[in-house]
Structure 1
Amino acid sequence: MLDEFAIPRDLVDRRVTRMRVLSPSNLAADFSRALPPGAHIPMLRREVLDSFLRRRAADAGATLVPGLVTSLSLPADPTADPYLVHYISSDSGSPSSSSSRSVLEVDAVVGADGANSRVAREVGAGDYTTAIAFQERIRLPDEAMSYYDDLAEMYVGGDVSPDFYAWVFPKCDHVAVGTGTVAAKPDIKKLQSGIRARAGGKIAGGRVIKVEAHPIPEHPRPRRVVGRVALVGDAAGYVTRCSGEGIYFAAKSGRLCGQAMADEWKLTGAVTEAGIRAGYLRRWDDEFRLTFRFLDMLQRVFYGGNAGREALVEMCADEHVQRRTFESYLHKRMAAVEPWGDLRLLWRTAATMVRCGVLGREVERLRRLEQQAADQVLLRH
């Protein structure tokens, strides 16, 4: 992402070269043995990255308007009339500054306003399921912080999340300790206590400097382009399951969408729904649909219970799994097929799942579903 979006290296807080995944029984898999030479996972703070991107947009000619969007008036003629963006403006963007209600007249709208997107609601883009991500930023004693200098840890288990993972990620002068869930949102603080207990002495003596909670979409919205309004990033639902990554896909979708609108404007002097769909939506789906579906399948298989999580961590110790994962993660697309290596991986996966009791459970579940379907057919006749 740094190279693709020209992000300065001095914005990076930490360069992670060691990754560790810990199972419910605390079996640890070193997930960084297959990391390519010189490669690393950059860790940035969102507030630092967002500030840089705003400044760069202004330097490129964008007009920044601090404020809060309250509603969107749709045009009487969806092909020609402007949209009216109603917002509360302020000079500094802070709640304490003086503010006033204003209206902005625009030809097209890009909704990049997060999982609780006001733009999505105004155009009827439809709902989606969301998870909650909760984390504490914890400043550690120097010795403890040095342990996480270039190390990221991921924990799986019902004690930290029933359907996702928990993490300890290094940041500038602190670590981010958190967890996420869809199925157990009311228990998020209990799950947070679980990751603090699992990390144990490694974060002992730390001081909480900030607490954060955010909704995370679980799948794309039913409608991502409505008229001359397009949704990108979390507003569109572009967060991968299994890994929970969203920042790259937010930046990528924003660039594809903006470029599609700019290209059509240069050619025709207008922006249309058909043009946005062709230049943005189809390109996005062609490039990333398979990745999102594959990671959704992995989450369903491996995050459903502790047996599956034990199998997942056991597989993470396999160098072929690690190499294929990094090929996909670093390049943000499914790695090319390697017939023999992938066939061996398939057999190893099946063996691991049998050993951990996952495959038998899934086969039994499918057998029950088939029997229920057959019983319903008999009832109808």
Structure 2
Amino acid sequence: MYDVVVVGGGPSGATAAEDLARSGKSVAMLDRAGRIKPCGGAIPPVAITEFCIPDEQLVAKITTARMISPTGRKVDIPIENGYVGMVDRKDFDEFLRCRAADAGVARFTGTFLRIERGDGTKVIYRDKETREEMALETKLIIGADGARSDVARAEVPGGDTIPYVIAYHEIIEAPTPSEAYDPLRCDVIYDGKISPDFYGWVFPHGTSASVGMGTGIEGVDLKQATADLRMASGLSDCKTLRKEGAPIPLKPLSRWDNGKDVVLAGDAAGVVAPSSGEGIFYAMAGGRAAATAATACLTSGRVKDLQLARKLFMREHKGVFKILGAMQDAYYKSDERRERFVSLCHDIDVQRLTFEAYMHKKLVAKRPLAHIKIGIKNVAHLMGLVNPLRT
């Protein structure tokens, strides 16, 4: 009998499992293993600090972000007084799982099948090695098994209807540094030919790089779009090391628990930032919130305490998600709007406030005049009062 079984061993599940084990709970973590999520791999400083990510896990330290518009306009945004760390999910996720195991978490490898109740609550899975059905008896379950979470679909209202985009990327050998490719710079490409409703990216990973895009529109050829992006970025001749694709959720679920014994975390709960698609920090924060809720429920015996996971997370991050969602709705609809968005990024106040919020995961309350100025510029761009090619 475990106190908690965590289904999923990505950043969210591994964080939840480790936190619970370090608080003295008996924890099992079930993970499929072998799956690598397509991900740019960006880790802001607040994540490095809050989740004790060692420097050796950072394959690159980014000091500049480049925004590229549909017409090829480039806006370089320096990251002042710091950097954004980059990780390779192939190694980073396993590091987190091993750290959880070192804290006392029992690791199991297999595929989640279902939850059975009656004579206790049991997580039924198919063992990877034996291919036999196995059972883990538990008091509570944390579903951290991704955007198309089987736990969420079976247990939580709305878990089967979460909206998402499909992300695809190719890990390539990094080319020689040049104007087109800088190992200290992330490129974000806002171009409808690459993605009609999201964006493409070129993110350095030290000796390799992630090149990819995302879209929620059916019929888009993700592999061809990525090939086009590689050609436009001068990366077509770079050796391809691996290819990965997966759904990325777009909106947090309105409920994260089933009112009995299940609570969700990470992509399963829909916690990926709108507009940016950033997920690692929010996955880990969601895992920590789920662990806190599970601990409260085990201590009090009140299943209502499972609601704390969503309450704690949204109390901290709802404002950022709301602003980013509004920005995506406003600027990702057309190339004309995307051109205006990149033009807006020329503004030094936009650059500073954006990265202060990104680096520390809080809306910046300082410099109210800067906020007013940005608001006026936003309205001017959205109403078509500004020629984006002249700003």
Specify the TM-score bucket, using the shorter chain as the normaliser: 0.7 to 0.9
The question of 1:119 aligning with 2:151 is answered yes
- Report the identity percentage: 31
How much does 1:40 deviate? 0.5
| Structure 1 pair 118–204 and aligned structure 2 pair: CA distance change class (3 A) | closer
1:21-40 correspondence runs (5 A): 21-32=67-78, 35-37=79-81, 39-40=82-83
Cα deviation for residue 193 of structure 1 reads 3.1
Question: Whole-Å Cα distance in 1 between the matches of residues 297 and 148 of structure 2?
Answer: 29
Query: Which structure's relative contact order is higher, taking Cα pairs within 8 Å and 6+ residues apart?
Result: 2
d(CA) in 2 for partners of 1:101, 1:110: 20
The Cα offsets for residues 326-371 of structure 1, whole Å up to 9 and x where unpaired, read as 111111122215321111122222333424579xxxxxxxxxxxxx
Q: Deviations over 1:105-141 (max 9, x none)?
A: 1110000000111111221432111110011111144
> For residue 103 of structure 1, what is the aligned residue in structure 2?
135
Q: Is the helix fraction higher in 1 or 2?
A: 1
Residue in structure 1 matching 2:58, options 12, 35, 50? 12
Say whether the 8 Å CA contact 1:145–1:174 is kept in structure 2: no
| CA deviation after TM superposition for structure 1 residue 28, in Å | 0.5
Residue 280 (1) aligns with residue 309 (2): yes
Backbone CA RMSD of aligned residues: 2.0
Are residue 162 (structure 1) and residue 192 (structure 2) matched?
no
Does residue 41 of structure 1 match 2:75? Answer: no
Kindly indicate whether residue 283 of structure 2 is the aligned counterpart of residue 250 of structure 1: yes
> Which sections of structure 1, spanning at least 5 residues, go unmatched?
91-96, 359-381
Alignment check: 8 A CA contact 1:14 1:42 kept? yes
Structure possessing the higher radius of gyration over alpha carbons: 1
Q: How many residues align?
A: 338
Q: Given the alignment of the two structures, is residue 86 of structure 1 paired with residue 124 of structure 2, yes or no? A: yes
The correspondence of residues 223-372 of structure 1 with structure 2, limited to 5 A, is 223-226=255-258, 227-266=260-299, 268=300, 270=301, 272-277=302-307, 279-336=308-365, 338-353=367-382, 354-355=384-385
Asked if 2 retains the 8 angstrom alpha-carbon contact of 1:162 and 1:184, the reply is: no
The answer to whether the 8 A contact 1:308-1:356 is kept is: no
**CA 1:182–1:356 in 2, change beyond 3 Å: closer, same or farther?**
farther
TM-aligned CA distance change 1:257 to 1:136, over 3 Å: same
CA deviation map 1:197-230 (0-9, x unaligned): 331x2x2421111111010111122431112201
Give the partner amino acid of 2:71.
S
Match for 2:107 among 64, 75, 86?
64
TM (normalized to structure 1)? Answer: 0.84
DSSP 3-state at the match of 1:42: strand
Deviation at 1:18, TM superposition (A): 1.3
Task: Please identify, of 234-243 and 119-128, the stretch whose mean Cα deviation from structure 2 is larger.
Answer: 119-128
Partner residue of 2:44?
none
Q: Distance between the aligned counterparts of 1:222 and 1:159, measured in 2? A: 33
Higher mean Cα deviation, 143-152 or 189-198? Answer: 143-152
The 3 A distance-change label for structure 1 pair 59 and 146 is: farther
Structure 2 residue runs without a partner (length 5+): 1-46
